[in-house]
A and B are shown apart, each in its own frame.
Chain A
Amino acid sequence: MAPCTTFLSCTKYYCGHSLPRLDLRSSSKSPGRSFPRMASRNVVRSFKILGTFSKLRREGKVALMPYITAGDPDLATTSKLLQLLDQCGADLIELGLPYSDPSLDGPVIQASTRRALANGTKLETTISMLKEVAPRLSCPIVLLSYYKHIEAYGVEKFTSIVAEGGVHGLLVPDVPFREIASLKRRTEANDIELGLITTPITPRYQMEAIVDVSEGFVYLASSVGVTGARPTVNPQVEDLLQELKEVTTKPVAVGFGISKPEHVKQIATWGADGVIVGSAIVQLLAEARSSEEALRHVEIFTKSLKAALP
């Protein structure tokens, strides 16, 4: 089933035609399925990410999704931060695997990946850390990895290592649409939901294809650019959310630039299902003089964001 969906979406993405919707398509109109669907390789899929959003939607809530870079300042602190964010009300946590040349990240996250790489953070050590801490978390983890890492290990090995860490979602900012089919085969087989990113300048037909294929949620980048706190939220986000809602009932989470409780509140009122806050939290880690101070500041900040959300 999924390969057909991805093929049709691939055709839509590259050919520019909106194709008629087929019944083969999975779960795009029914996010609240209560039973797991059998994937192509007879893996029982748990849809933890989608399930989290469904539950929040039923409760009239919006997901708070903080981002931190694994290994910044070190994996021990990352482990503590994951637990802290969970306790402060994070509904999902995005964890970035550090990469030396991130094309979608601004100076704050670039600096965090440099710090993480300087202390030798890599996939295996990150996953070891996650194996220990993920069972203690109530919220699921979405791993963010640039394609370089996936290529280095090979799609099969990468996805199975990641699954061992208890990761339920994957975001790959620079995977070309054409490669998604082969990546998705492996993520499905490992019970990982592959989320995709859409932007304000993505043409409509490509946005539709992205939305068709994206699992767990659709990541809407709020502005054209790289990550980094911005003083205000791009007003286009309101229209973009509306457009996305016309095309799908899948959850839509908005990220990039969100750095204040006011931003979070505004995006929630515009109809987002989730709000992602990255650089603002990472910056607190960079400025803190000690691990304890970092944890303290992140706790205060995260609670203020949570308070701004319904």
Chain B
Amino acid sequence: MASILRNPNPNFPSLSKTSSSFLGLRVPANLSWPRRVASAMRSPFSVSCTLTREPVGADASAEYGVRPSSASQRPDSFGRFGKFGGKYVPETLMHALTELEDAFWSLSKDAEFQEELAGILRDYVGRESPLYFAERLTDHYKHADGGGPHIYLKREDLNHTGAHKINNAVAQALLAKRLGKKRIIAETGAGQHGVATATVCARFGLQCIIYMGAQDMERQALNVFRMRLLGAEVRAVHSGTATLKDATSEAIRDWVTNVESTHYILGSVAGPHPYPMMVREFHAVIGKETRKQAMDKWGGKPDVLVACVGGGSNAMGLFHEFVDDLDVKLIGVEAAGYGLDSGRHAATLTKGEVGVLHGAMSYLLQDDDGQIIEPHSISAGLDYPGVGPEHSYLKDIGRAEYYSVTDQEALEAFKRLSRLEGIIPALETSHALAYLEVLCPTLPDGTKVVLNCSGRGDKDVQTAIKHLQL
């Protein structure tokens, strides 16, 4: 029989999902945004004026008795963060997405699964990653009076495979195994997520196919080799701009075709629900560790969190733990490429408009005809014309601020961290580091800044060689 006689989903509709937790991480409870966000904006650490908008409340399309989204649920049961998010995918994928979400929630309560995952994160990935006091970088940003912020780096670059990507890849691979899927697909921009996926597929014995834009394959040849060495098949995507956007579209089409046998390990907090939520939860260990480490180191919380934003996974991983702590400032840094006015950038949250891409409603870069613009950034991992819907939401409600930094500024920061701390950062991370130039002069003495050092820069030396005169 062609049909699948499926039992009604016992979890729909239910609020309990958004008050569950994964790996013991708390998902925020009810909040009233406007007043508290406004007071955070008046805090002494405010860098700039950000208009605080009313949170997007009941969804207009929910008026037929379907559960409305509210600002306090991130996301609601339809995967909405305010008006952002959702599941704009063909019908073919709907069942798989539901199945994935059900599996995610049931495994969040499965002690055996959690223990297995925690063990792999500890013994294989090498967690917990250090929270490192960057002494010379801190000195560099000292004000004339000798005071200044204290800069800490959350060393996700020290994870196995050299970036934060592995946190999500490992968890999704385990989830895929529980779902009985033997074939894994993924998209990759810089190659870090591809390498992380190929790594976990080797570790767990899964067939691995990675889609990568042909242009990206050229600029990240080292990662392509690594993926192949790890046993993955890397398929070049030549269509469109031949970068991450097209690789993602091709991966979605592969999933539409092979959905019954295949799990799609999406690499960022983008895509259709439940991916933005799931990937955030799998990276949330970054923020959770940071809270504990901050308490151990200085007996308090960070004051400012800074992270680069491409799709937004490392930023959400750091921010999520602190979203309810309104005295913690959240700053995301995007790629301004050749400059915001050049038309060649990837600053989605600064210059983009709301639209649908890869299954989610979010900010994206599009032209007047609604066609998606080809972005540019020197860093392949930030070269994405969209952004995770949760970031779009946090920006709209004023909870997080987003700025951007040019290729040139990122390269300078790449060099700066290498020289001051002996850490070669990824070009993606260099964008966050570059923003410190603007941020630090405004911060009072003793402000604790935690910057997510999301990856190491070995993969970028060939690009850097072309641009840096050393």
Query: What is the interface of chain A, defined by CB distance below 8 A to chain B?
Result: 3, 6-7, 10-11, 14-17, 100-106, 110, 114, 117, 120, 122, 146-149, 151-153, 173-179, 181-182, 196-207, 210, 221, 224-226, 236, 239-240, 243
Contacts and interface: CB of A to CB of B under 8 A. Distances in A.
A198 B2 CA distance: 12
A178 B62 contact: yes
Contact of B66 (A10, A105, A117, A207): A10
Contacts of A6: 64
A263 B366 CA distance: 40
Among A114, A197, A225, chain B packs the most CB atoms within 10 A around the CB of: A225
The 7 tightest CB contacts between A and B, nearest first, are A16-B8, A152-B370, A225-B257, A7-B64, A203-B6, A239-B2, A101-B249
Given A101-B240, A221-B92, A243 B372 contact: no
Given A103-B256, A148-B356, A174-B359, A16 B371 contact: no
Interface residues of B, number: 52
Given A148-B356, A204-B4, 17 more contacts: A10-B64, A10-B65, A14-B9, A101-B246, A103-B90, A120-B369, A176-B94, A198-B91, A201-B4, A201-B259, A202-B91, A202-B94, A204-B5, A205-B6, A207-B3, A221-B91, A239-B1
Interface stretch (B81-89, B289-297, B303-311): B81-89
Among B3, B89, B355, chain A packs the most CB atoms within 10 A around the CB of: B3
A150 to B, nearest CB: 9
B366 A152 contact: yes
B245 interface: yes
Contacts, number: 156
Contacts of B45: none
Contacts of B2: 200, 236, 239-240, 243
A149 B88 CA distance: 12
Contacts of A151: 354-356, 361
Interface in B223-262: 239-240, 245-246, 249, 252-253, 256-260
B13 A14 contact: yes
A15 B256 contact: no
A206 B94 contact: yes
B3 A149 contact: no
Contacts of A203: 3-6, 95
15 contacts: A7-B64, A10-B64, A104-B92, A106-B253, A146-B356, A147-B356, A151-B356, A182-B60, A200-B2, A201-B95, A203-B3, A206-B95, A224-B257, A225-B258, A239-B2
B124 interface: no
Interface in B136-179: none
B10 to A, nearest CB: 9
Contacts of A106: 253
A162 to B, nearest CB: 14
Nearest to A17: B8
A277 B359 CA distance: 26
Contacts of B94: 176-177, 202, 206
Nearest to A3: B64
Given A100-B240, A103-B252, A15 B90 contact: no
